[in-house]
Copies of this chain bind each other. A is one copy, B any other.
Amino acid sequence: MKPTPRPDPFSLAFEEAHKAAARGEVPVGAVIMREGIILARAGNQVLADKDPTAHAEMLAIRQACAVLGSERLIGCDLYVTLEPCAMCAAAIAHARLRRLYFSASDPKGGGVEHGARIFAQPTCHHVTEIYGGLRESEAAALLRAFFLERR
Contacts and interface: CB of A to CB of B under 8 A. Distances in A.
Q: Chain A: interface residue count, which band?
A: 35 or more
Interface in A36-58: 46-47, 49-54, 58
Centre residue among A53, A108, A114 by max chain B CB count within 10 A: A53
A74 to B, nearest CB: 12
Interface stretch (A5-13, A83-91, A129-137, A140-148): A83-91
Interface in A99-127: 108-111, 114-118, 121-125
Interface of A: 46-47, 49-54, 58, 61-62, 65-66, 69-73, 85-91, 94-96, 108-111, 114-118, 121-125
4 smallest CB-CB distances across A and B, nearest first, come from: A115-B123, A87-B90, A116-B116, A52-B94
